[in-house]
Structure 1
Amino acid sequence: MLISMMRGSTALVCLSLAMPAMAQESDPGFLGTLILTGGKRDLSFGTALSRTVVGDEEIQDRQASTVAQLIDSVPGVTLVNGTTPQGSGINIRGFGANTTFGSDQKIAVQIDGASVGSEELYRIGTQLFTDPLLYREVEVLRGTIGSFAYGSGIVGGVVKLETKDASDYTGGVPGVGGSQTFEFSSNGNGWVSSTSLAWMPTERAEFLLNYSLRDQDDLTAGDGSTIGNSAFRTPSYLAKAKFTFGQDDAHSLTFSHSNTVADDKDVPYDQFATDGGSFGNVDRLTETAQTVLEYRFNPSSDLVDLRANLSYADQTIEYDYIPGSSPLEGTPTFPFLVGTVNADQRYETTKLTVTNRALFDTGAVSHDMLAGVEAQRRIRADNTAAGAPGGTNDRFALFVVDEMTIGQVTVTPALRYEKSRIESALPLAGAPDSYEKDALMGGLALAYDFGNGLSVFGSAAYTEGLPIIDDLGTSATAQRRIGMSEKSRTFELGAEYTGTDVFTAGDTFTIRGNLYQTKLWDITSYTVAGSTSTELDRVDSRGFELEASYGMVNGLYVDFAGHLGEGTEVNPDGSDATWRNSPADRAQLTLGKKWGDRLDLSWEVVHAAERRDALGADLPDSTVHNLRATWKPQAQGWLDGSEVRFGVENVLDADYVGHLSSTSRKAPGRTVKVTLSKTF
């Protein structure tokens, strides 16, 4: 068994603690974060949170086409169904995107605090429809224990995106700055242009504008075949402003608005497939926008660090069927199918989150406590023809996370109470039009710091997934689902170590592992294979995650990220099968060398085993090699601030299908990318 194998492993393992993000200036958090880096990815330690951060340098270095493609290098994260903004989905520890829907409500995605990508849309990805170059940081929190400040029912984890700031370009001082980036890709003749303009008239005001345009034709697989339905063109923009005011600059107000549009003509309705299939083709206009206004009051008091975040997320998808594109045209089922593919969709989420972080002592116990209240309204236009009933979901939540430290021991309890009310947009004949549900959930984490770079951790967490608008309906199945909540319990155990001068003078070494075990029951979102109305009895999953980074003073470095896991889905009759959405066993090793800030060369190897396609059939192991080079000329004049990045993905042109992907949607073959950028 996997658990037995991992108990006998000599690798260090690490566990997540219940707390929000660690960056103390950018977000309320706990435990001062110390960073050591050996290579491309900074690993946090002293935080005890199962957390991976992809920073601005790595965002540029990976040259990703989508955010999903950017973070699939994180342990336990799977990119489902390709590299297009609309089709690709994010799965964490076996939860999130699956082979039918872009979301199962068990991961949360936030852009500057706005909740996005939460709708169960048939054959469409996560709706995380945006451009990677708008962001300065992407943070992935894995598991339940760190999620209580962000939502209920989160089993896989949280993906948090933070947009760029004007101060990133001006160095935080008054002046004008910006950047221009051009990127070219051989596979699909892809190209990107991203322009940022920043202005700080004073130290108390900053403004940023970004416009990015990304274009790509259909990609080619390793065997030379064309990957259908992989072309896209997505213009995106970001507008952001921040004002600081008051005595000691204790007050700040930040506004951000981002928008991405795709106007696709004669493309498959099914975003997971490579051709129109039975649904045929459509003209599809997709527009996603997020608007956030955040107020912060941070006076010179340990008891007050107040934030009020008001966000609005809006996504519209308009369809027009292409006559003659479906083989079912002219059959009795065609009128129903046309109603499905012509049905427009719109989803609006308005949310207000107010938090306060307080530092205080009670005797020998030091507290770092985050308390908050959240109110959210989600409105979905009725689209019953496409299996998406309309309605309104109002939610109210209270949460508190208190990190209590006594010497070398840290105890962190976390609680969240959430109440939900769902009201149907249309009268439900023979059934109530509104439903209410509430739940109390939480977790407890323990940590011990030996004081020599080694820490050990342990936690238990319980959460409930309250009913959603998709559960509305008059059938017995719908009434059963909307009357109950899914429940899950997760245990984690592990350790981490970090140090300097470990193997040779001046080196740095960080290693962090994490063993987790999750049980999901009272299931409403997954049915028995072959059934549309009989839910699974439970899902059991477990896994082991490992991240490590080593660097030497001469610039040589090694980065590692890996995941081993297995899962079981149990039917009501007691029979079981492999959990259909569990992640593959995966190891990613990067070997590189840096010559100061001038040149960085690296070779990345990604090996995946225990893989399956979208229908559950076994896939052979895959090994992919990637090469990357970054050159920053150390020169004055017009070359000052310029960067050249060169990458070759899938160097050996491997022919394979990604884990949990449709067999018709193969992974891209060899791709050469060149990026030219300049900051000023």
Structure 2
Amino acid sequence: MRKIDRGPRSPSTLARTAGWGVSWLALVAAVPAMAQEAAAPEATAAVVATDEFVELDPITVVATRTAESWIDTLAGVTVRRSAQLDMLMPSRTADLFEGMPGTTAIQNANTSQTQINIRGLQDFGRVAVIVDGARQNFNQLGHAGAGGFFIEPGLIADVDVVRGPVSNIYGSGAIGGVVTMRTKDADDIIAPGKSWGVEATGEAAGNGFMGYGSVLGAARVGENVDLFIGGTYRDADNYHDGNGDVVPDSGFDTWTGIAKATFRPADFHEIKLTALNYDTQFTTSADAGAATSYSTQATNRTVTASWNYENPEDNLFDWRSSVYWNQVDQDQVKVTGSSNPITGAVGDPRSFVIDTVGFDANNTSRFSAAGWNSAITFGGDYFQDEIDNTDDYGFGEGYNPSGDRGVGGAFVQWKGNYSTWLEAIAALRYDAYSLNSDDGGTSGERVSPKLTLGVTPWSWLTLYGTYAEGYRAPTVTEALVSGPHPLPFNTGGTMFYFLPNPGLQAEVGKNKEVGINIKKDDLFVAGDKLRAKFNYYQNDVDNYIELVEFGSSTGTICPIPGQPNTCFPYNWGVPGYAQYQNVQEARLKGFEFEGTYDARKWFLGVAGQISEGEITAGPSAGQPLSSIQPDQVSTTLGFRFLDEKLTVAVRWTAVAAVKASDLPVNSVFEPTDSFNLVSVYAGYQPNENMLWRLSVENLLDEQYTQYENFLPSAGLTVKGALTVRFGGGEVASISDPLYVK
């Protein structure tokens, strides 16, 4: 059989991590020694420090579903591969995204749940998060936002991020962007030419002890079957902030089990089955001063099956498809707080469950005509959310109503290259959705276009411009949330009431973007490499959905917005009301940049963003958006010693303040001060089967709180880790990445 070459591969995690520390810094999209993924078939797992194996340009499909180098992609794209993520030494999922321009992972200290903010858009699926092909659609309404996912960072091998609604062919709703993650697989564990491998990692950190361990094993049965199985466990105590104070409820523990089986039943065909179970326990509350807290256990279960066909000699069919089931079950028990009808009494349980089933299928056909090399990709996707929330003692189910939502679409995209200097992309996507529950429902549909033009006047410089639209259906929570809330938006009140709005319309993002890609080798000295991306965007979101407060302390609201035939009389003792409404239009704009210069003996990386956003039409016009992240810049400097076996690096990240004037009236988020973080890293690989890592994070012990987090972040933290691997056996007739029986 012939094995599919699906682009970037991972012949040896240890080999790819050797010799460079910029990966840990997350500012450099890729650096030398990463892409032994592009190594010749006869390469071994050992590090080979020659230009033949140096690659700054990992392949991605996240923007167009066609394989291309990240630096050549005509969009704001950032990618991270296993080597970068391993050396990042992430303890929390949010660590995977540190330093990404225009991308912020929000993870409060007292939860294992992570939310992604891209260009000021977050919550309720505005950013599509996809793990091993499965959508992550869980949301629970709270002060820290709504919408998140659970994953063990130590299992992640690849992260690809595209910013803005430019990847509308990748799925419905992603008006902010798309995040795709791939968990580790057999190719990440088994060295080329071998039949089995085992990788074990142990990690420990101070500042409230954190311990992590993982064992991953894989076997290649003949030429056509790969098996992979593994588990992880992580336990963390409460940490100290920069002032030396213990941050309550910042500890957690998680364990993960994962299994995969890959079959190649015929030439160029690959079938992959994946099962993932993630379990975490933590104690959480609504905000830093909340008297009510909950003991929480969350389980994320994912099952996916994919069938891919890729034959380099077949221009008609390049097929990718998957079906998946994802379930998040979050069970909570109240452990502190007074008894009340809103949150119940100590010992009262509640649960939040979402089951998402879906599929994704697409095909690319290629042809040449009139000087153009063209690729036409067409396909469709669909997912169904079934939400079953239960709270028999409080209003948790009112804030997070049960119901179901079906969202799907189909697309066609043409991508053409004329000679070496012109590239054009044109796409149309059709979206439709329906939302149903016992309290009502809504539906909608739309066609969204995309057009991109890129010009390469010199081989080292590409300029591009894009106009793209995206369509996001409202969620069950936004449309149907209902019930009293014990804390006011208005000063002087003691309670307000959530009102449902089943008449919500879908949001439409209209993004304009211009960008520059720079790719230059041998700039100052032989073998050096410069990679850089710059882009400016403006995303105008029509029918933007925002939580709006209105109403007086007495009387009747008639009609209720979104329910023209319904009145709500004042009879609850409630002085105010809140409802998700379409506020006509929001505008988000900003500038992003990332790049690296690498001369092998040393490297320098810089990345950051400047962004702003406000409501531009409707009753709240002129109000800033509370989801806009502060401006920031990160700078990295690193050196390699001892034949590139030892790497040391330092990173400085400067984050601007968020002032009260930057926030809308009655924002649930607090202003934050500016802060500077300095971190250092050292990695040593004495041989191909062992890697030692050491990092010191927040070296200056700065006291700071990240915006949208209500608990302070950790002070000075020292981490150490050891990864070892072993394996053996020989697989006959194999050359990597393609082999023939």
- Which residue identity is paired with 2:442? Y
Q: Which of the numbers 542, 548, 565 marks the counterpart of 1:521?
A: 542
Which residues of 2 match residues 34-113 of structure 1 at below 5 A? 34=69, 44-83=70-109, 86-96=112-122, 103-113=123-133
1:372–1:77 CA distance, 2 compared to 1 (3 A): same
What is the aligned length? 614
Given the superposition, is the C-alpha separation of residues 287 and 574 from structure 1 closer, same or farther in structure 2, using an over 3 Å criterion?
A: closer
Q: CA deviation at 1:547?
A: 0.6
Q: Which amino acid aligns with 2:329?
A: T
CA distance in 2, matches of 1:232, 1:477: 32
Instruction: Kindly provide the amino acid, as one letter, of the partner of residue 361 in structure 1.
Output: S
Q: Separation in 1 of the partners of 2:436 and 2:65?
A: 38
Structure 1 match to 2:160? 139
Residues 113 and 149 in structure 2, CA contact (< 8 A), matched pair in contact too: no
Root-mean-square deviation (Å): 2.6
The aligned amino acid for 1:206 is D
User: How big is each residue's C-alpha offset from its partner over 1:581-605, in whole Å with a ceiling of 9 and x where there is no partner?
Assistant: 1111100011001234411100000
Query: Of 135, 139, 155, which aligns to 2:175?
Result: 155
Which residue is equivalent to 2:315? 302
Which residue is equivalent to 1:625? Answer: 678
The verdict on how the C-alpha distance between 1:24 and 1:309 changes in structure 2, with shifts beyond 3 A counting, is farther
Structure 1 stretch displaced more, 84-93 or 107-116: 84-93
Aligned counterpart in structure 2 of residue 644 of structure 1, from 692, 697, 713? 692
Name the counterpart of 1:200: 220
Change (3 A) 1:617 1:422: closer
Quick check: 1:259–1:287 contact (8 Å CA) kept in 2? yes
- AA aligned to 1:338 is G
Partner of 1:18: none
Matched, 1:558 2:589: no
Aligned counterparts of 2:320 and 2:190: Cα–Cα separation in 1: 25
- Give a deviation string over 1:405-444, Cα, whole Å, max 9, x none: 22321111122111112221x3x3xxxx443211111211
- Say if 2:132 and 2:304, in contact at 8 Å, map to a contact too: yes
SS at match of 1:630: strand
Q: Any idea what the Cα deviations from partners look like across 1:222-269, whole Å, max 9, x if unmatched?
A: 0011111210000112111101121xx2211001111111234xx334
1:580 has 2:592 as partner: no
Shift of 1:495: 0.9
Output the amino acid matched with 2:220: M
Contact 2:190 2:197 in 1 (8 A): yes
Preserved contact between residue 85 and residue 128 of structure 1 (Cα < 8 Å): no
1:123 CA displacement? 4.5
Q: Does 1:422 align with 2:443?
A: no
* CA contact 1:467–1:481 (8 Å) conserved in 2: no
Structure 2 match to 1:485: 506
Distance 2:307 2:299 in 1: 27
What amino acid is aligned across from residue 66 of structure 1 in structure 2? R
Distance 1:549 1:170 in 2: 30
CA distance in 2, matches of 1:518, 1:414: 18
**Contact in 1 for aligned 2:62/2:162 (Cα 8 Å):** no
- 1:235: which partner in 2? 255
Whole-angstrom CA distance in 2 between matches of 1:53 and 1:534: 34
Aligned match of 2:596: 549
1:599 is aligned to 646
1:434–1:33 distance in 2 versus 1, CA, 3 Å: closer
In the TM superposition, 1:244-643 aligns within 5 A as 244-246=264-266, 249-264=267-282, 267-270=283-286, 273-274=287-288, 277-278=290-291, 280-299=292-311, 300-322=313-335, 325-326=336-337, 328-329=338-339, 334-338=340-344, 342-383=349-390, 385-386=395-396, 387-407=399-419, 408-424=421-437, 426=438, 428=439, 433-473=440-480, 480=501, 482-527=503-548, 532-533=578-579, 535=581, 536-553=583-600, 555-570=601-616, 572-573=618-619, 575-595=621-641, 596-611=643-658, 615-634=668-687, 640-643=688-691
TM-score of the aligned structures, taking structure 2 as reference length = 0.78
Measured at CA, do residues 573 and 437 of structure 1 come closer, stay the same or move farther in structure 2, by a change above 3 Å?
A: closer
SS state of the match for residue 142, structure 2? Answer: coil
- SS class of match (1:389): coil
When structure 1 is superposed on structure 2, of 393-402 and 191-200 the one drifting more is: 393-402
Instruction: State, as a whole percentage, how many aligned pairs show the same letter.
Output: 21
Give yes or no for contact 1:109–1:116 (8 Å, CA) kept in 2: yes
Deviation track 1:566-586 (CA, whole Å, cap 9, x = no partner) reads 222346346523321111110
Q: Which residue of 2 aligns with 1:661?
A: 709
- Residues 173 and 200 in structure 1, CA contact (< 8 A), matched pair in contact too: no
- Which structure 2 segments of 5+ residues have no match? 1-56, 483-496, 551-575, 661-666, 727-741
Q: Contact conserved, 2:416 with 2:423, CA < 8 A, in 1?
A: yes
Q: Which moved more, 1:611-620 or 1:254-263?
A: 611-620
Check whether the contact 1:28–1:370 (CA below 8 A) recurs between aligned residues.
no
SS in 1 for 2:175: coil
Q: Is the 8 A contact 2:377 2:413 kept in 1?
A: yes
Check conservation: 1:352, 1:376, Cα contact below 8 A: yes
Q: Provide the residue aligned with 2:732 in structure 1.
A: none
Query: What amino acid is the match of 1:336?
Result: I
Which whole-Å CA distance do the structure 1 matches of 2:512 and 2:531 have between them?
23
Report the residue type matching 2:626 in the other structure: R
Shift of 1:616: 5.0
